[in-house]
């Protein structure tokens, strides 16, 4: 499997590692690149040219996003690495516009599975491409921030960046 990797050491939310292959982006992680490669049990097959192009674009776009300049990502996502219910959830999540929030229950409703809010939350907790697939835009029905793969502080930062007011304990979108 040919993959290309990138790492941004200094962002307002800490380090971010990225990897992409021949079919587009495969991962965004809030940890160092060595740990990402260990988690993947990566065997170096050499870089992916399309992955290199994807990451070149994403490095510019993610930095611009984190400083409030970019609102939409243009990179290809490798949907083949995601299956079943999670893919359905992430496909809906990928369409949530900048600055908008939806609830876990609303996504479950859109899937035709009312009552599956917890399952939606579980699927989002394993989002391999946070920020690009904007699971930070999904909140509880009570407007409380529920977990985030990068932690609640990062979720709150991203929502503030997109114009939301976050207050209280527990953190809530106002």
Q: Which positions are annotated as active-site residues?
A: 135
Nearest to 48 by CA among 18, 15, 10: 18
Q: Which residues, other chains included, contact 20 with Cβ-Cβ below 8 Å and sequence gap of 6+?
A: 3, 4, 26, 27, 48, 50, 51, 52, 54, 55, 58, 75, 78
Q: Specify the 3-state DSSP secondary structure of 155.
A: helix
How far apart (Å, rounded) are the C-alpha atoms in residues 128 and 169?
28
29 contacts 17 by C-beta, under 8 angstroms: yes
Tell me the CA distances in angstroms from 25 to 32, 74, 76, 116, one per residue in order: 17, 11, 6, 28
60 contacts 117 by C-beta, under 8 angstroms: no
Nearest to 117 by CA among 142, 82, 154: 142
């Amino acid at each position: 499997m040919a993959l290309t990797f990138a790492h941004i050491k200094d962002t307002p939310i800490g380090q971010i590692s990225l990897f992409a292959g021949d079919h587009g982006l495969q991962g965004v992680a809030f940890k160092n690149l060595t740990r990402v490669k260990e988690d993947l049990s990566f065997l170096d097959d050499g870089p992916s040219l399309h992955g290199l192009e994807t990451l070149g674009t994403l490095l510019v776009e993610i930095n611009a996003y984190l400083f409030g300049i970019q609102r939409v990502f243009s990179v290809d996502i490798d949907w083949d690495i995601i299956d079943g219910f999670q893919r359905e959830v992430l496909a809906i999540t990928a369409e949530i516009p900048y600055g908008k929030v939806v609830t876990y229950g609303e996504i479950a409703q859109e899937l035709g599975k009312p009552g599956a809010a917890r399952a939606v939350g579980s699927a989002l907790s394993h989002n391999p491409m946070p920020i690009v697939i904007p699971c930070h835009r999904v909140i509880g029905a009570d407007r409380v921030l529920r977990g985030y793969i990068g932690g609640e502080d990062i979720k709150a930062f991203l929502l503030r960046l997109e114009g939301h007011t976050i207050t209280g304990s527990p953190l809530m979108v106002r």
